[in-house]
Amino acid sequence: MISVATQTLADFITSGIPLINKEQIFFDHPRVAQVNKPALNLYCYRVQVSDWNQTLPTTPSVPSRDNPLSPTLGVRKSVNVAGVSQWFDLTFLVSVTDHTALSEQHLLSELLAMLSSYQFLPDEFLTPLLQGQGVLPITVSTEGVIDTALLWQVLRMPLRLALHVTLTVPFYHHLGFHQTG
C-alpha cells in the first residue's frame, strides 16, 4: 500500500501544480537530486500505525477539487471499512530542485498552497485500490516528526527547504504491502 499511496500523492500533486509533471517527480533518496531542471522529490521516511479512527461525514460536504475547503464536515460517525485491518501514517519529505533557490522557493510555495488547502485527498485522485474506502487525511507541515536538522543530517544532506506531508492510508490485511495498483 505504500507504493499505491505514494503514486496517489504524486498524481494529486501534478493535477494541481502546473509547474511540475509526472516525469519531474522522483521517489529516490534526496541525495539523488535532479539537477539543471525543476524536480520534486517525494521521499517516504516514516511509516507509523495511525490513531486515525476512520470516520465519514454525516453531511455530503466531503472536500473535492471544486470544494477543497469544505466549511464543516458536520458530526462524524465511525465506519468500519471492509477489509481494512489498520491505518498507517506515511510521512514524506517533499523537497524541490531547480536552477535557482528562488525558483525552488516558488515551486515549494505553490505546493504548500495547494496541499494545505486540503484536509483530505479528494476521492477522484485516489488510485482504484483506495477509492471508496472513506476519506484519506493529509497534513502538511514544515516540521518533521523528528528534528528537521537531524533528519537532513541522517540523510547526509545539507539543510534544505522542504515540506513534511503525512498521508493516512488503510492497510488491507488480505492484500498486504506487496499489492500494487
- pLDDT at residue number 118: 93
- pLDDT at residue number 35: 63
**For the chain, how many residues are written?**
181
The residue to which cell 522522483 is assigned? 26
Q: Is residue 121 part of a domain?
A: yes
Range of the domain at 117: 2-172
Contact in structure between 78 and 54 (CB atoms under 8 Å)? yes
Spans of the chain, pLDDT less than 50: 56-62, 64-65, 67-80, 174-181
Q: Is residue 7 part of a domain?
A: yes
Whole-prediction pTM: 0.76
Q: CA separation (Å) from 151 to 71, 104, 131, 143, 164?
A: 35, 20, 32, 10, 11
- pLDDT at residue number 123: 84
Q: State how far the Cα of 87 lies from the Cα of 54, in Å rounded to an integer.
A: 8
- pLDDT at residue number 80: 45
Q: Is residue 178 part of a domain?
A: no
* CATH code, 143: 3.30.2000
- pLDDT at residue number 72: 35
- pLDDT at residue number 9: 93
- pLDDT at residue number 157: 84
Q: Is residue 180 part of a domain?
A: no
DSSP assignment letter at 51: -
Domain count, the chain: 1
- pLDDT at residue number 73: 39
- pLDDT at residue number 79: 41
